[in-house]
């Protein structure tokens, strides 16, 4: 389960709308409370994809290292990432499945759907292990 305050969900939606028609991407910072991830901050980062940014994104390892340092300095951890799906549902794509190989059960993937430039559904996902498909995660 992942807890995301409404103002943070709105921040993700604004980021997605601002980058439309390309996919946006960012990190989720927070803490673990048992099996629950509590998101306390979202950090937008550039989509580093060299392909079609309307249908794919890439997270840069250097961006991750900077965000991880930032999180730790604030007493938080990187608990997941988010990205948008312009004109597509908030379900993992084949590109998402490939890119999420290093995730794991404690890492959440939030997908923000947009239709005609307006944010709609936000859905959380995780992968039980690196070979498993995505499983929907409760988003509160």
7-137 fold = Cytidine Deaminase; domain 2 (3.40.140)
Cis peptide before 21 (omega within 30 of 0): yes
Confidence of residue 131 (pLDDT cuts 50, 70, 90): confident
Confidence of residue 8 (pLDDT cuts 50, 70, 90): very high
Name the average pLDDT for the chain.
93
pLDDT at 46: 96
- 120 compared with 105, residue with greater pLDDT: 120
Taking residues 84-91, what's their average pLDDT?
97
Q: Is pTM beyond 0.85 here?
A: yes
């Amino acid at each position: 389960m992942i807890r995301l305050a409404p103002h943070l969900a709105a921040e993700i939606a604004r980021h997605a709308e601002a980058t439309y028609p390309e996919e946006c991407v960012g990190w989720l910072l927070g803490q673990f409370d048992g099996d629950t991830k509590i998101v306390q901050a979202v950090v937008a980062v550039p989509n580093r994809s060299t392909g079609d940014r309307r249908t794919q994104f890439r997270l840069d390892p250097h961006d991750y290292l900077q965000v991880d340092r930032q999180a730790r300095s604030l007493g938080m951890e990187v608990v997941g990432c988010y990205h948008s799906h312009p004109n597509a549902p908030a379900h993992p794509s084949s590109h998402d499945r490939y890119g999420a190989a290093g995730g794991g059960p404690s890492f959440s993937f939030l997908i923000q759907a947009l239709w005609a430039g307006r944010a709609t559904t936000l859905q959380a996902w995780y992968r039980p292990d690196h070979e498993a498909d995505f499983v929907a995660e409760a988003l509160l």
